[in-house]
Amino acid sequence: MGRGWKALAGYFASDDPLTGAANRLLVVLLGNQPTYPLFVGWATGEWSPWLVLTMLSTPFFCAVPWASRRYPGTGRLAFPLVGALNGIFCTVVLGRGSGVELFLVPCLVIAAWTCPAGNRRMLAVCLAILYAAFVAGRTLPWGPVIPLTPDQLEALVSLNAYSAASFSALATWNLWGVPNERRA
């Protein structure tokens, strides 16, 4: 393995098993994020250059391992919170009917599994933010940056539903067996 790959692996590694598991999920997300605009174009037939906007959150997702090291325990909640902000932003780009807000479900799963034990207040705040993101996504007063037809939205909802369900299942599977102070 080259030095670059070792450095990258070291950046996402963690001595804390739960943070390490969350970071592995983050690697999966970061590996898929650049292809999302392509999948949207494929599903809808809409190849707008504005689709690149869906990748603007990438640097914030990349900062999550740093936040997790800097603020052990609480930093790993940065992942679902950045995901929530990304969900709201992509809802603005693609519209309320796009199903992008379904990605709040894996954010909720990751928040619930990675919140430090004994910190219900922190989990409550995180879940309130996720719920507020859902409400904001459903009630945004402005239209989409990329207007889509009902048929295009239906295709996009299908894509997003399968993607969100798959990532939720992967997150649950990945985090279930990890030693957690809550299950000790």
The answer to the question of residue 181 being in a domain is: no
Phi, psi at 56, each rounded to 5°: -65, -20
Euclidean distance between CA atoms 68 and 43, whole angstroms: 35
Distances (CA, A) of 79 to 2, 23, 155, 159: 27, 9, 27, 22
pLDDT for 180: 65
The answer to the question of residue 183 being in a domain is: no
pLDDT in tens, the chain (184 residues): 688 889 989 999 999 899 999 999 999 999 999 999 999 999 999 999 999 999 999 999 999 999 999 987 778 899 999 999 999 999 999 998 999 999 999 999 999 999 887 888 989 999 999 999 999 888 878 779 999 999 999 999 999 999 999 999 999 999 998 876 554 4
The domain in which residue 148 lies consists of 3-176
The answer to the question of residue 57 being in a domain is: yes
The answer to the question of residue 50 being in a domain is: yes
137-176 burial, b at 16+ Cβ within 10 Å, e below that, comes to beeeeeebebebeeebbbbbbebbeebbeebbebbeebbe
pLDDT for 184: 46
Count of the separate structural domains present in the chain: 1
pLDDT for 93: 93
Euclidean distance between CA atoms 35 and 5, whole angstroms: 21
Amino acid in position 116: P
The answer to the question of residue 19 being in a domain is: yes
The answer to the question of residue 182 being in a domain is: no
pTM for the model = 0.90
Euclidean distance between CA atoms 149 and 96, whole angstroms: 12
Helices of type H across the chain: 3-12, 17-32, 36-44, 58-62, 64-70, 78-94, 104-114, 120-139, 150-176
pLDDT for 117: 78
**In sequence order, what are the residues at sequence separation of 6 or more whose Cβ sits closer than 8 angstroms to the Cβ of residue 82?**
57, 60, 61, 64
Euclidean distance between CA atoms 86 and 82, whole angstroms: 6
The answer to the question of residue 184 being in a domain is: no
The CB density around residue 1, as the number of other CB atoms within 10 Å, is 7
pLDDT for 142: 77
